[in-house]
Structure 1
Amino acid sequence: MYEKEIEDELKRWKRKLQKRPSMMGRYTKGLQSKMNNLIPEKVHSVVTASIKNMVHATLVGSEYTTKKQPEVALSLEQREEKVHQIIKTYKRTAALEGAGTGAGGILLGMADFPLLLSIKMKFLFDVASAYGYDVRDYKERLFVLYLFQLTYAREEKRPDLIIQLEEWEKEKEKLPEKDEYLATFDWKSFQLDYRDYIDLPKMLQLIPGFGAVVGAAANYRFLDLLGETAMNGYRIRWLSSLPE
């Protein structure tokens, strides 16, 4: 019964992702492009470097993988009870971090980019473990990156990313070794999507005083979206593993 409810939720989520952007969404995108030019190049450089380092650390490092033993012998409903608690905890953590760095203006606002990335990646690894996946396997860490990418991807890229998630169990067997994959990873496209998504709220966060409110609200929302994508990504895998 629980799996049937989840299947219906999953269908609604896919339809939502594949909708054309609203008029307001298109307006916001245009405004964001204009605001992009006002952001100091130093800030862009910090974001770009942070994302590049995060991709490499996620695939080759142990920072996020230590002590992340997967949960075993639990039902999907039990797992998702744990995931809801993880989401709640991390949203609060991200909001506090955003408020703290937002209150400090440009310098602390710049520090928010790598800090928030670290929070997001640790969050995704905790969610993966709650669903029973061992993130010590680099292919599971790569799945985490796909979830991250889908959360902040442009509308035209979402259908292909959803297909990758749906066919993951077959596609992961074709993946090359970690070092070979790293050599061909398109991190530039990856970071541009993310940077474009967060630029407008993060620029507002750099405004002293006002930035604290924006930072808390933006980080809370970013984690909320990431949690929704992660849950539905792992639901896809769970349902596909059930006997027909």
Structure 2
Amino acid sequence: MAEYEDKVRDELVLWQRKIVKRSSLFNRMSKTTQTKMNSLIPEKVHNVVTESIKNMAKATLAGSNVTTKKEAFMEVNLYEQDKRVKQKLTTYRKTAVVEGAGTGAGGILLGLADFPLLLSIKMKFLFEAATIYGFDTNKYEERLFILHVFQLAFSSDEKRKETFETIKHWENKKRELLDMDWRVFQQEYRDHIDLVKMFQLIPGVGAVVGAYANYNLLDQLGETAMNAYRLRLLGN
């Protein structure tokens, strides 16, 4: 077990370097363009979208907490926890792929339905992961941590580094947090997935793009969740 934990610590070092690494030029240019576009949108529209995403995320959090089995994994070692989370990720990734292909093949209307469906799949996976690693999702602070893991997975360079520091020093930082900055939360998430999801609406290629995009988005979330919880369990 000690040997496995040493291996995980080495992986955490590499992951932390990846987190603080500057994103590609294409991604930075996309973010700049999306920021400019956001500045042209009326404030009332931003408020409506923010409130919608906030309500959608909170409803998903509540639903996921109810449907997640509260099994006790506190006595299980990290190797078994990681193994189980990887198994869960495989299941949720398959679900996301099927959902992405289905909504992508359905054109614009079903493509728009992909947003809340995929959000629900992602949140459900995070609740499963938290439970497997032994954290009580009935606690508000753990649901807040889940939202920060989500934000860490899907945000720009600056926000990703800031969120990582919050997660890295969670025991101290959580005392300062009352709620998420929902405006930032929804803009970072939308900016992260908007470009690829736009291609999902194109007839003929939408199914392939949807399946591929959802596969990679779940992979990204899985890696982030595993390492965020590993960091909490093993310390910095």
Q: Using structure 2 for the length normalisation, give the TM-score.
A: 0.87
Q: Which residue of 1 aligns with 2:228?
A: 233
Is 1:57 matched with 2:59? yes
Change (3 A) 1:45 1:99: farther
Do the aligned partners of 1:46 and 1:110 also contact (CA within 8 Å) in 2? no
Q: What is the alpha-carbon distance in structure 2 between the residues aligned to residue 150 and residue 95 of structure 1?
A: 22
Q: What is the alpha-carbon distance in structure 1 between the residues aligned to residue 48 and residue 214 of structure 2?
A: 18
Where do residues 169-184 of structure 1 align in structure 2 (5 Å cutoff)? 169-172=171-174, 174=175, 181-182=178-179
Q: CA deviation at 1:49?
A: 5.8
AA aligned to 2:137 is V
Q: For 1:71, what is the secondary structure of its paired residue?
A: coil
Q: CA deviation at 1:48?
A: 5.1
Is 1:201 matched with 2:203? no
AA aligned to 2:224 is T
Do the aligned partners of 2:31 and 2:156 also contact (CA within 8 Å) in 1? no
Q: Which residue of 1 aligns with 2:170?
A: 168
Q: What is the alpha-carbon distance in structure 2 between the residues aligned to residue 157 and residue 96 of structure 1?
A: 30
Q: What is the alpha-carbon distance in structure 1 between the residues aligned to residue 37 and residue 112 of structure 2?
A: 16
Do the aligned partners of 2:151 and 2:160 also contact (CA within 8 Å) in 1? no
Do the aligned partners of 1:153 and 1:193 also contact (CA within 8 Å) in 2? yes
Q: What is the alpha-carbon distance in structure 2 between the residues aligned to residue 195 and residue 16 of structure 1?
A: 22
Do the aligned partners of 2:151 and 2:189 also contact (CA within 8 Å) in 1? yes
Unaligned runs of 5+ in 1: 38-43
Q: What is the alpha-carbon distance in structure 1 between the residues aligned to residue 202 and residue 21 of structure 2?
A: 33
Where do residues 101-180 of structure 1 align in structure 2 (5 Å cutoff)? 101-172=103-174, 174=175
Q: CA deviation at 1:16?
A: 1.1
Q: Which residue of 2 aligns with 1:78?
A: 80
Q: Using structure 1 for the length normalisation, give the TM-score.
A: 0.84
Q: What is the alpha-carbon distance in structure 1 between the residues aligned to residue 222 and residue 229 of structure 2?
A: 11
Change (3 A) 1:132 1:240: same
Do the aligned partners of 1:46 and 1:113 also contact (CA within 8 Å) in 2? no
Indicate the larger mover: 198-207 or 14-23.
Answer: 14-23
AA aligned to 1:91 is R
Name the % identity: 54
Q: Which residue of 1 aligns with 2:218?
A: 223
Do the aligned partners of 1:50 and 1:113 also contact (CA within 8 Å) in 2? no
Q: For 2:64, what is the secondary structure of its paired residue?
A: coil
Q: Which residue of 2 aligns with 1:40?
A: none
Unaligned runs of 5+ in 2: 40-45
Aligned with residue 4 of structure 2, among 2, 5, 19? 2
Do the aligned partners of 1:36 and 1:199 also contact (CA within 8 Å) in 2? no
**What does the per-residue CA deviation read over 1:128-148, in whole Å, with 9 as the maximum and x for residues that have no partner?**
111111101111011000000
Q: What is the alpha-carbon distance in structure 1 between the residues aligned to residue 187 and residue 219 of structure 2?
A: 21
Is 1:21 matched with 2:23? yes
Q: CA deviation at 1:28?
A: 4.5
Q: What is the alpha-carbon distance in structure 2 between the residues aligned to residue 18 and residue 219 of structure 1?
A: 24
